[in-house]
Amino acid sequence: MNYSSTYTMCPRPFSRARNLRSGLARPAFTLVEMLIVITIITILLTIGALGLRNLSKGSGVSAGVPLAEAAFAEARGLSMGSGGTTRILINADPDNADRYLRYMLVVYLSEDNKWVAASRGSYLPKAVFFSQKFSKLNHSSGSGDIPLLPSADQDIYSSTESAQRNEALSGKYFYYQFNSEGNSSSPGASFVIGTGTKAPGADNPRAEGGSGTTNFGGFMIWSKGTTSLFRHPDQMNVPEDFDNGEEF
């Protein structure tokens, strides 16, 4: 009898047991980890899709839209992961020339009702501004301005342990909000940005560079907190005769 042949057909029990134990010990992804991965994939797909578009004079907007979408995805993912309320803020202080209509910050509501910064924030590209004129609470009807933070909510903290507000981050902001399930508190709202220049002391920037209507970009925010990109100026309620030099 060929014992060596019989031996090779038999699995080694200890090796098999080790493999089973190894498989059982392998940790699973948590819900929060899965949400973070999904958010990152969504952001990368968005940036990749926009990066394939033909860049022109309005390339600042083409770069700014995925930055803004990433901030919205961060706020939504944070609300779903933490089970709390979050906001995406856009600076609304005309006295802060560097940040006005360009600086975005994600904040969350702590257990002791303090608004805490989730990150350092980000800027839209140079010469790209948030449009107060074309961003609306109800985009389909073109009505309702994006709200300003109530004065009681203008204090922003660096962490939940901070006793003092962060002076550099606190102040006036426009805001969009997500509830504890990641749903938008203003479904049907829009976020629109444009390329332009802003004179010192002016409340609104003026369109500049190329054709006026092609220098805008943005997206809709749906009830579930997801976003859909605008593909044409008509979708952003930008008039066909809108031209350089006009405020937005």
pLDDT block averages, 10 residues each, the chain of length 248:
45 45 50 56 53 48 94 95 95 94 97 93 95 95 95 93 90 97 96 92 81 84 96 87 86
| Residue 247 counted as domain residue | no
Q: CATH code at 161?
A: 3.55.40.10
How high is the pLDDT of residue 234?
84
| Residue 242 counted as domain residue | no
How high is the pLDDT of residue 22?
44
How high is the pLDDT of residue 13?
45
pTM, 2 dp: 0.76
Looking at the 3D structure of the chain, how many domains does it have? 1
How high is the pLDDT of residue 3?
44
| Residue 75 counted as domain residue | yes
Of the candidates 113, 120, 107, the one whose C-alpha atom is nearest the C-alpha of residue 79 is 107
| Residue 230 counted as domain residue | yes
| Residue 16 counted as domain residue | no
| Residue 21 counted as domain residue | no
| Residue 194 counted as domain residue | yes
| Residue 148 counted as domain residue | yes
How high is the pLDDT of residue 133?
94
Range of the domain at 116: 31-236
